[in-house]
Amino acid sequence: MEKVFPNITDIPARALITKIGFDGHDRGSRIVAAYLRDAGMEVIYTPPWQEIEAVVQLALQEDVDLIGISSLATDHLIVPELMQKLSDAGLSEIEVFIGGIIPEQERPMLIEAGLGGIFGPGSSREEIVECAQRLAATARLRKQQAMAVAS
C-alpha cells in the first residue's frame, strides 16, 4: 500500500517572532506577531534579547517554518551570524525575514546571507502577511521534499 503523508499545507504554518541582540524596542515584533496570528499562522513569540543559540534551539524544538526578526537598533548586523548557525544546525530549510530600521547600505549583506524579506517602516500589514505566507510555503515545500527523500 502506498504510504500517505499528511498534506503539510493542511496544518497552519509556524512562525517564530523574536529579537536578538541588545535592543528592547518590542512594539514592532508584537504587532507583527499579532498580524501573523490573525492571518491564521501559529506564532511562537519571545521577548527581546534572545541569544542566537537560543533562537536556533527554539526553531528546532518548535519545528518552525519561518523566523521573523525585529531590529530597531542595529541588531540586524548579527543576522548573518544567525543564518550561519541555522545552517550549521541543519535548519537551512527555515526561511528568515526581518523588519525594522535597516539602512539601505546594509541590505545587500542581509540578502546575501539568505534573508527572504526586509520590511522598513510604513510597510503594510498585507505586504508583511503575504511575504510571510509565501516564505512559509517555500520552507514547507522544502521540508516535504526532504521528508519524501528520507522515506
Partner 1 sequence: MSASLSEQGFCEKEAKESPLDVAENQWKEDYAKQIGDNNQDIKNMSGITVEPLYTPDNIKDTDAYLKQSGYPGQFPYTRGIYSTMHRGKTWTQRQLVGLGTPADYNKRVRTMLELGANAISLLPCNSGFRGVDCDVVPLPLLGTCGTVVNNVDHMDTCLEQVPIDQISAAMNDPSPFTLFAFMLNVAKRRGISWDKITGTSNQSDYISHFVANHMFYRLSLAGSRRVLVDHIEFCREHVPNWNPMSVVGQHIQQTGATLAETVGFTLSSAIQHAEDCLARGMDPDEILPRFTFFFDVSINFFEEVAKFRAARRIWARIARDRLGAKDPKSWRLKFHAQTSGVDLTAQQPLNNIARTAVQAMAGIFGGLQSMHTDAYDEPFTTPTAKTAKIAVATQNILREEAHLCDVIDPLGGSYYIERLTDQMEEEALVVMAKIDAAGGMYKAVEVGLVQTMCGESSMANQELIESGKKRIVGVNCYQDEEEEKIEVETTRPDPVLMQKHIDEFKEFKKNRSEDAVAKALDNLTRAANSDDENVFASVVEATGVGVTHGEIISCLRAELGFGHPLIVA
Question: Using CB under 8 A as the criterion, which residues of the chain lie in contact with partner 1 when the complex forms?
Answer: 21-27, 30-31, 33-34, 45, 47-49, 73-75, 77-78, 81, 101, 103-106, 120-122, 124-125
Q: Which is nearer to partner 1, 25 or 142 (CB)?
A: 25
Q: Which is nearer to partner 1, 3 or 27 (CB)?
A: 27
Q: How far is the CB of 45 from partner 1 (least distance, A)?
A: 8
Q: Which is nearer to partner 1, 107 or 143 (CB)?
A: 107
Q: How far is the CB of 121 from partner 1 (least distance, A)?
A: 4
State residue 53 phi and psi, 5-degree precision: -60, -35
Cα distances from 71 to residues 1, 9, 27, 116, 131, in angstroms, run: 50, 29, 11, 15, 18
What is the C-alpha to C-alpha distance for residues 117 and 107, in angstroms, rounded to an integer? 10
Closest CA to 119 of 132, 111, 128, 110: 128
Q: How far is the CB of 62 from partner 1 (least distance, A)?
A: 18
Retrieve residue 18's grid coordinates.
523574536
